[in-house]
């Protein structure tokens, strides 16, 4: 009993048998914690990436999230990704909820239970309300392309107007234009009610008598269409109540008659919007500046009282709000007005703007249609909260005036499209719709 030789070896053996699995267990814990950090970082990045995408379904969000997770995830040797799941929750503020698990190799499986490393995260999806006005050229030169335009407009509506209008809404307005714009039931409110009798060169009555460019006297009847407004608010979105728009007295012969398709204020009802698109038909000359002005009015809070509550634009600068105008044209803006009749001096002095003898012998106080459109575009972009402007020039490569306008009017070069045929027109609208969808779902 007094012999103590070999005691150290026995003590070491006992200690080794206890400490070795404990040490291995500590190493396992270290590995799990290391992998947990790597997994959390990768999952956070993947969820953020998925939230910023344009995906609108859980299936698409999951596919995007899984791909991003695999691209970002760093694994310790021997670890394997067990599962990952990305879900889109549209209850309240839209969120992407993500969870992932990794199985870590175990050096000491008997020391403690080695459950998979599991982490989760959620990202509140940034979003925007969208108010979009489509300003569509339905002039005579668009005759063969109206079906393609209708298809393109319908596709854009389906891309932009979400089936879910909460927590963010998306609405579209439609402004068809040719030689004028037809406000439909809103005409009297924005220009004034018609008075009986004949006005001598002054709009406001059922008929107007004027002198044409050859010095002959003519009398035209009033219509439901409107022209540009004049005065200090000609190029602003000031309310119609203090600055009414112009009248339109079209020729009795039918050239440059009142546009039949009426405006459609902001709506999230796809059925209503598609029905309006179905009414588009080609008409007459091109007063694109009048269509452009009405595109602005459709998204202007200053014009909100004109429309039903569901169609009233929100205030400029409201949180999570984008206001957009899409101007589509297939050629020169060739028609301006003087006192309710097409102006001779300010419109094209050839047959591209109707019959010359139907032109009033006075100049538009606002200058020609191109100049008016350029000023309107500049003012929309100069707002404290600028309107986003897309321009679509359909087969206008040979018209330098049109390309100058379209390039200068758009927000920037990325917002300009030049389709050359019906198929590329539809592609252009699809690309705009996809871009708007992206803007709606992210900042």
pLDDT of residue 347: 87
Question: Tens digit of pLDDT for each residue in 387-437?
Answer: 999 999 998 867 788 899 999 999 999 999 999 999 999 999 999 998 898
pLDDT at 293 over 90: yes
pLDDT of residue 441: 67
Question: Tens digit of pLDDT for each residue in 163-176?
Answer: 888 878 999 999 99
pLDDT of residue 24: 54
Question: Where does the pLDDT of residue 18 fall: very low under 50, low under 70, confident under 90, or very high at 90 and above?
Answer: very low
DSSP character at residue 52 = T
Strand, helix or coil at 187? helix
pLDDT of residue 351: 75
Percentage of residues of the chain with pLDDT beyond 90: 71
pLDDT of residue 400: 85
Q: What span, in angstroms and rounded, lies between the C-alpha atoms of 251 and 180?
A: 13
Q: What CATH number should be reported for the domain whose range is 7-124?
A: 3.30.1300
Question: Where does the pLDDT of residue 108 fall: very low under 50, low under 70, confident under 90, or very high at 90 and above?
Answer: low
Mean pLDDT across the chain, nearest whole number? 90
pLDDT of residue 53: 79
pLDDT of residue 8: 56
DSSP character at residue 356 = G
pLDDT of residue 21: 56
Question: Tens digit of pLDDT for each residue in 314-372?
Answer: 999 999 999 999 999 988 899 999 999 999 988 887 778 888 999 999 999 999 999 99
pLDDT at 56 over 50: yes
3-state per-residue secondary structure call for 133-183: EEEEECCHHHHHHHHHHHHHHHHHHHHHCCCCCCCCCEEEEEEEECCCEEC
Domains of the chain by residue range: 7-124, 129-441
What is the number of other CB atoms lying within 10 angstroms of the CB of residue 397?
Answer: 10
Q: What span, in angstroms and rounded, lies between the C-alpha atoms of 161 and 169?
A: 8
Record: fold of 129-441: Rossmann fold (3.40.50)
Question: Which of 123-127, 213-217, 416-420 shows the lowest mean pLDDT across its residues?
Answer: 123-127
Q: What predicted TM-score, i.e. pTM, was given to this entire model?
A: 0.78
């Amino acid at each position: 009993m007094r012999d103590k030789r070999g005691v150290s070896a026995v003590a070491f053996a006992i200690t080794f048998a206890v400490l070795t699995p404990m040490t291995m267990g500590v190493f396992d814990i270290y590995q799990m914690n290391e992998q947990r950090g790597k997994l959390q970082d990768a999952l956070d990045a993947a969820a953020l990436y998925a939230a910023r995408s344009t995906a609108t379904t859980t299936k698409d969000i999951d596919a995007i999230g899984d791909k991003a997770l695999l691209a970002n995830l760093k694994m310790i040797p021997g670890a394997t990704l067990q599962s990952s799941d990305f879900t889109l929750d549209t209850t309240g503020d839209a969120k992407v909820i993500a969870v992932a698990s990794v199985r870590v190799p175990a050096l000491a499986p008997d020391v403690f239970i080695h459950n998979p490393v599991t982490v989760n995260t959620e990202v509140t999806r940034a979003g925007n309300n969208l108010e979009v006005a489509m300003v569509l050229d339905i002039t005579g030169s668009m005759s063969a392309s109206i079906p393609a335009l209708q298809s393109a407009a319908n596709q854009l509506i389906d891309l932009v107007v979400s089936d879910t209008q909460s927590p963010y809404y998306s609405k579209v307005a439609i402004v068809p234009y040719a030689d004028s714009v037809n406000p439909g039931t809103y005409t009297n409110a924005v220009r004034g009610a018609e008075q009986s009798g004949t006005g001598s060169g002054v709009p406001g009555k059922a008929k107007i008598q004027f002198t044409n460019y050859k010095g002959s006297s003519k009398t035209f009847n009033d219509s439901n269409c409107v022209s540009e407004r004049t005065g200090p608010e000609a190029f602003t979105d000031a309310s119609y109540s203090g600055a009414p728009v112009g009248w339109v007295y079209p020729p009795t012969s039918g050239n440059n008659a009142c546009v039949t398709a009426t405006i459609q204020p902001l709506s999230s009802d796809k059925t209503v919007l598609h029905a309006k698109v179905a009414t588009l038909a080609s008409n007459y000359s091109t007063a694109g500046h009048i269509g452009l002005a009405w595109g602005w009015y459709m998204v202007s809070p200053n014009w909100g009282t004109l429309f039903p509550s569901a169609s009233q634009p929100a205030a400029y600068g409201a949180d999570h709000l984008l206001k957009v105008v899409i101007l589509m044209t297939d050629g020169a803006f060739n028609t301006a007005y003087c006192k309710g009749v097409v102006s001779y001096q300010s419109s094209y002095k050839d047959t591209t703007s109707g019959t010359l003898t139907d032109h009033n012998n006075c100049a538009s106080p606002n200058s020609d249609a191109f100049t008016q459109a350029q000023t309107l575009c500049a003012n929309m972009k100069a707002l404290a909260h600028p309107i986003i402007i897309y321009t679509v020039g359909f087969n206008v490569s040979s018209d330098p005036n049109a390309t100058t306008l379209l390039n200068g009017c758009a927000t920037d070069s990325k917002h300009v499209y030049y389709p050359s045929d019906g198929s590329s027109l539809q592609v252009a609208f699809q690309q705009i719709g996809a871009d708007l969808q992206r803007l709606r779902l992210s900042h």
